[in-house]
Structure 1
Amino acid sequence: MAAWLDLVSENEVWNLVDTNRLGELVQELPYPKFQYPSLLYFTGNSNRMKALRALFPYNNITRKGPAGLIRLHLSTKTAHTQSPILFAESSLCLEYSLGDSKWLKHSTTKHRSFSITGAEGLLPPARLQQEVKRQLVLP
């Protein structure tokens, strides 16, 4: 699973879902108390995946699974170093796979859901996605 953040519409209310992917990746590091990860964020069109495969050739970035709004990966080449690299990626375009994390309701994975007040019907999905990325990921 690479989904980190997702937008889920339930009962005409948008929720931002944090799948706890970041926490899981940090805890799965070989020495989490002594490693200091960096987080890189990549956004773009289909060429983004080509660039990520070139930058992180040891990662299986295109593996299928719940996509969500933003996906988070650990660079396998740097996982055992003092400064491992985490990289998040998303599309510039409208994500049609939103809500993939709905399956988490029946999961034992810890996740958090935050209601996005005022977003009900006011913003089209594409604009809402852009605002979440702009205000929460790129502060």
Structure 2
Amino acid sequence: MPRIALITLVVRDYDEAIAFYRDALGFTLVEDTDRGDGSRWVVVRPGNGSGSDGGGAGGSGTDLLLARAKDDEQLASVGAQTGGRVGFFLHTDDFARDHARMTAAGVRFLEAPRHEPYGTVVVFEDLYGNRWDLLQPTTSA
């Protein structure tokens, strides 16, 4: 059955993006390969063995391809790739743990956590301003 394996996220700089997704969000750096033309193939995956339900090797999760902007047009899209809407949804199996870890790492949350029929959720921004949901779905969701 087909599935989305990668989603490209345009970034300003490879290393700052890797540091944020790895250190602040707890993602795993899956691949960082020099392509020989000044660009790199950089893939990060939610979850680092901490129990986050982000997919992973053998899982059904989707990885992020961090692609450095290569011109002014792409640079202008950094942080606005979803038009100001929440465009990414990071599921967790322990909301309190991951919210506390991300808060301690300096992640910017745009609201207080809230409980909805579908789960516990909070909106946050990545280092570029892209909006994400941190979401622990209810067991029936």
Q: Does the alignment reach a TM-score above 0.5?
A: no
Larger RCO: 1 or 2 (CA < 8 Å, sep 6+): 1
Choose between structure 1 and 2: higher helix proportion. 1
Pick the structure with more strand per residue.
2
Return the TM-score normalized by structure 1: 0.29
